[in-house]
Structure 1
Amino acid sequence: MKKSLALICLLCINYLAFAQKIAEPLTNMHPEWSKPYPPFKIAGNLYYVGTYDLACYLIVTPKGNILINTGLASSAPFIKASIEALGFKFADTRILLTTQAHYDHVGAMAAIKKMTGAKMMVDAGDAAVLADGGRSDYALGGNVSPYAPVKTDRLLHNGDIIKLGGMQLVMLHHPGHTKGSCSFLFDVKDKNRSYKVLIANLPTIITDKKFSEIPAYPNIAKDYAYTLSAMKKLKFDIWLASHASQFGLYNKHKPGAAYNPAAFIDRQGYDAQLKDLQDQFTKKINGGK
């Protein structure tokens, strides 16, 4: 395992030296986004293959694997090495998903899609942004694409089911953070029990503008209100998120720790996150920044 982790770190360092120069704004302000983190088994056939803070998840099935999120553009070799360190084949990736079409979660998506031939499935609300490399994003867009454009193979809508090798993931439309932000709900099991897992895209507010000052997203306030309401009603055993820091990964799992799905059973932490986000949203609606 130590040899595998050393390889992961080496690949990350080498790749950063020649990675394509696609804009990754604010990356230097967040060194934890590219900091390596050892891959590990979360529960059943669900694994963590992301960096220290940019959460990426691998779901392994007999018919191939599902990868959710890819982190920054520079994360491609790290994710590949992480998957292989766990004993799986990177080439077995069949389906690519994302919780949101921002550069810190889909930066390596185009490269990994090309490397594996996997099918890209995305919430319909984010398809246009994904196709233009993030330029049309209401908050982070501009004249330069923050990441390489990605062609969508299947558009997903609220409640749609992604099936592969006996797994069924329900896509939950949770817009606001982006027009197509989404979460995934599914079951995994080990020899002891089954777990209902929620990979939640928490509706953080990323714009300083008043919602009424965003013509590119006229329904943003309505979408945030819908998402907060919908997420409060969800039932699950284990919850995870788009960023490791959001679900307290570092307190729940230490590198090299034994398999312990129970560490991720944390309804109280989930409710606390939503309460904080609800307070921020209410302040915003009432005229606060």
Structure 2
Amino acid sequence: MFASIAAAALAAANPATVAEHQAACAGKDGWSDPAPPVRVFGNVYDVGTCGIVSLLITGPRGHILLDAATAEAAPSIAANVERLGFKLSDVKLIGASHEHFDHVGGVAELQRLTGATVMSMPAAYLTFETGIVNREDPQWGMHKPFPGAKVGIMLSDGFVARQGPLSLTAYATPGHAPGSTTWSWRSCDGKRCVNIVYADSVSAVSAEEYRFSDHKKYVAAFRDSLFKIARLRCDLLITPHPGASNFYDRLAGKAPLIDRSACKAYADRGRKALDERLAKEQAK
């Protein structure tokens, strides 16, 4: 029964083509620039902006949204969900990659519009609730506050978020932010099924005065996160900042969308950049 309901929902969806998406975003990559929704694979859609991915994973008993871009972007994300033919009230769970305003600034408004339950890692909980980045974050002091949202589910490493037949696993991957979360699940398009990984950012970005080399435990956790991402079963990699994984070119067929080595390569790039950052700090 679930399969037939899901097939009917997919048939009713009205995503833009990748060409239409690229035309709408030509010359734009802003975090709040509206973009039309596109289908990624099977029941997975990008409903985000030109510069930030927001994933809608749809199911016959409700949908899951991962990331919500900025506060300014919330109306366009809501409009994209409705353009696809889905009811906002059917979005039941909202999760995130990490707790910075460009990815969760729109969560509070989308929670209000949908009534969804928000999910968060413990390290991101206070930031979700207050809209203020905590002092443990390498980017503390860099970001403007955003509207706080009420967290209803506390995640943990390996937590499985379920909504009807949908099943997404959350992995704690701290590094870019303390509450960084990587998600994995399996989606099917007809008889073809793939393992999808929504891997959080792995860049060692910080406020000017922050030194990763002064935080050895944090760096060790960051390295563990990169190792974890590299080892995930990963056919289709998606990242919160699309450029980090060449996402839109891959959707357009300019590079392979399915690549089982993508998560390892992504983690390796993050490890190299972290090593370079640490070496630069030590050279000062």
Interval containing the TM-score (normalised by the shorter chain): 0.7 to 0.9
Paired position in structure 2 for 1:33: 31
Offset of residue 180 of structure 1: 1.1
Selected match of 1:54 from 52, 55, 59:
52
Give distance in 2, aligned partners of 1:143 and 1:222: 23
Conserved 8 A contact 2:230-2:265: no
Maintained 8 Å contact 1:238/1:265: yes
Q: Given that residues 172 and 182 in structure 1 are in contact (C-alpha distance below 8 angstroms), is that contact kept between their aligned partners in structure 2?
A: yes
Partner SS, residue 153 of structure 1:
strand
Aligned partner of 2:268 in structure 1 is 275
- The aligned length equals 256
Amino acid at match of 1:155: M
Taking a change above 3 Å as real, the CA distance of residues 45 and 144 of structure 1, as seen in their structure-2 partners, is closer
Gaps of 5+ in 2: 1-13, 22-27
Instruction: Report deviation, 1:59.
Output: 0.8
Partner of 1:13: none
Residue 18 of structure 1 corresponds to: none
Distance in 2 (CA, whole Å) between partners of 1:252 and 1:212 is 35
Mapped contact 1:135–1:144 kept (Cα < 8 A): yes
Aligned AA (2:240) = S
Contact 2:132 2:146 in 1 (8 A): yes
Q: 1:135 to 1:229 in 2, by over 3 A?
A: closer
> What letter matches 1:196 in structure 2?
N
Give CA-to-partner distance per residue, 1:176-218, whole Å, 9 cap, x none: 111110111101112131111100003211114322446xxx6
The letter of the residue matching 2:67 is N
Instruction: Tell whether the 8 Å contact from 2:237 to 2:262 is kept in structure 1 after alignment.
Output: no
Unaligned 5+ runs, structure 1: 10-29
Which string of whole-angstrom CA distances, capped at 9 and with x for unpartnered residues, describes residues 25-75 of structure 1?
Answer: xxxxx9522222221111111111011120000011111111100001101
Task: Give the match for residue 162 of structure 2.
Answer: 163
Given that 2:41 and 2:189 are in contact with CA atoms closer than 8 Å, whether structure 1 keeps it comes out as yes
Q: Distance in 2 between matches of 1:80 and 1:283?
A: 40
Identify the match of residue 240 of structure 2 among 239, 242, 261: 242
The equivalent residue for 1:45 is 43
Secondary structure, counterpart of 1:149 in structure 2: coil
Residue matched to 2:191: 192
Matches within 5 A, 1:171-250: 171-207=170-206, 208=208, 209-213=210-214, 219-250=217-248
Q: Which residue identity lines up with residue 99 of structure 1 in the other structure?
A: S
Q: SS of the counterpart of 2:97?
A: coil
The two structures have a TM-score, normalised by structure 1, of: 0.81
- Kept after mapping to 2: 8 A contact 1:171/1:183: yes
What's the TM-score, normalizing by structure 2?
A: 0.82
1:272–1:196 Cα change, 3 Å: closer
Alpha-carbon distance between aligned partners in 2 of 1:111 and 1:126, rounded to the nearest angstrom: 18
